[in-house]
Chain A
């Protein structure tokens, strides 16, 4: 009964435009009253939900992403990608994928990519007479790399909920990012070569020009190496790596002579509030997770799935369909906080590697940010590109083909993402 009150109450309230944190909180309050549990559980679980050292890395990576934007690194990375990838069929479309891949190693979120890189790449593609829809759709599709390539805020939350290794997840994220970028790149090349999109060639660049661009982007390109390298070598924990990313972003501001006290203060305030809103949602959801766990709903779900099938591929298909649907209607953070506690016993029952499942869960939910009706990426892109949401939606729909193809590969070929963590950390036990 308490589970019904919790899930039914949350769904109803959230559908009626009640803020997610309030909807979860009110539904949990009602469920606790039905169960007859003490209401002091509410603040206790909320405080315990934040009491995790790994969560501190979330504000660090958000702040680092914002400071990287202030530092002008975004511009330099795009210039570098234009020089390196611009001659591949698809021209600036390929450069957009390349720069997103690199920038993702500095920021941890898709919207930072859209807001930061989107403005620059849209401007470049407009001046080169690319179709606006193509430009917006490419930026949007490439932004899914943000939460997949480490440092990834989604992976941090997932690792905390699943109690799995962040190092392994981050390594798997790089491998998964390569798969996704390859599919997107091939799709753009195919559209350019078959004339479905007109992608003017990027003029050839001379060797001195390449050298100049590489030199200008050098310190920015080093950022992912510094952040991930520090973690890989065990010099710092993922949380401390976040703090180092912030310091490195400030260093870039100084090196690029783009330090602006006003902009930096604004980035700090924005990061603090943005991080607070994500972690506060986690705090409230901890209460929901506690009620779901103690009421045995996860076990009931496992029993129900086991009753339908004992084939792992069918279970993965069901998980994919459920998460894709969930991702279409819910933001990634609340969707993950609801889904992951339910998926943990399923992963155990069907012997699914939690790192592999993490890639599948995160990628499914990220696709949701570029699909209607709740795709927050669509709204952000429409605002950045000054286009209507309908136009952006229509343009991005074809990109679901390479993204879903990449999802199938990542779901059914675990080695596609696990080869890298297995190579770095050894096979999982």
Chain B
């Protein structure tokens, strides 16, 4: 849900992020199914047919990198991260809004640094290969770079959204709920 006070461009930005978010959820889910399948097939082949998939561990790790980093980007969009509220809740509302904007600017800066530094590893890592399948090592870093870019965009949206919506008197918790890009997926640990 978005606020009527948000500029059209920001609403469009949100729709684009929402589409990206669902794609990330789908990709992370497919990755989880794929890792499960690879490991089940590996065990079945080993004990049922006395054979083995020598590449299963390496592929599992590559798919795991994808699931973790892409899933983390989706987790930011569902606002499923861990925060500590009890000090923040005692601060004046105006101060809370300001801090929330700073938080998301910091998150965006950090994610941008991660993305830039991950891409800067390309010239070195594209030339060194993994042990079993000979994949360029950069393939393992790529999900981190892509997810960091996505988190940077999401954080930028949250900062802008807080900036435009803070005037309507709602507290930060309420504004957070309203600006969440994906619904929170409740099941889990």
Contact = CB atoms under 8 A, between A and B. Distances in A.
A200 interface: no
A139 to B, nearest CB: 16
Contact of B74 (A47, A60, A268, A276): A276
A39 B117 contact: yes
A115 B68 CA distance: 24
B81 interface: yes
Nearest to B76: A19
A281 B40 CA distance: 27
Interface string B35-48: 11001101100010
Interface residues on B, range: 35 or more
Contact of A240 (B39, B80, B113, B187): B39
Contacts of B84: 14-15, 17, 329-330, 374
Interface in B22-58: 25-26, 28-29, 31-33, 35-36, 39-40, 42-43, 47, 57
Nearest to A53: B57
Contacts of A235: 43, 47
Interface residues of A, number: 74
Contacts of A109: 188-189
Contact of A276 (B36, B67, B121): B67
B39 A111 contact: no
A15 B107 contact: no
Interface string A105-136: 00111111001000000000000000000000
Contact of B118 (A26, A43, A108, A270): A43
B72 interface: yes
B68 A279 contact: yes
Contacts of A268: 29, 32-33
B164 interface: no
A94 interface: no
A29 B113 contact: yes
Contacts of B28: 269, 272-273, 276
Interface string A276-287: 111111010000
Given A13-B106, A47-B144, A55-B64, A373 B72 contact: no
Contact of A274 (B114, B120, B189): B189
Contacts of B144: 43, 46-47
Contact of A56 (B35, B109, B121): B35
Interface in A259-297: 265-281, 283
Interface stretch (B3-11, B12-20, B85-93): B85-93
B86 A374 contact: yes
Q: Which of B31, B103, B121 has the most CB of A within 10 A?
A: B103
A324 interface: no
B187 A267 contact: yes
Nearest to B32: A272
B61 A22 contact: no
B67 A63 contact: no
A308 interface: no
A42 interface: yes
A99 interface: no
Q: Which of B26, B36, B74, B187 has the most CB of A within 10 A?
A: B187
Nearest to A107: B189
B119 to A, nearest CB: 9
Contacts of B65: 47, 50-51
B100 A17 contact: yes
A65 B67 contact: no
A244 interface: yes
A19 B120 contact: no
A20 B83 CA distance: 6
8 contacts: A14-B84, A21-B82, A26-B109, A29-B110, A56-B64, A111-B189, A240-B42, A273-B80
- Nearest first, the 7 A-B pairs at minimum CB distance are A276-B71, A109-B189, A274-B188, A280-B72, A243-B39, A43-B118, A270-B187
Given A42-B117, A60-B39, A273-B74, 16 more contacts: A17-B85, A17-B87, A19-B107, A42-B113, A62-B188, A63-B36, A66-B188, A111-B189, A112-B189, A236-B43, A270-B188, A272-B71, A275-B32, A275-B67, A280-B68, A280-B72
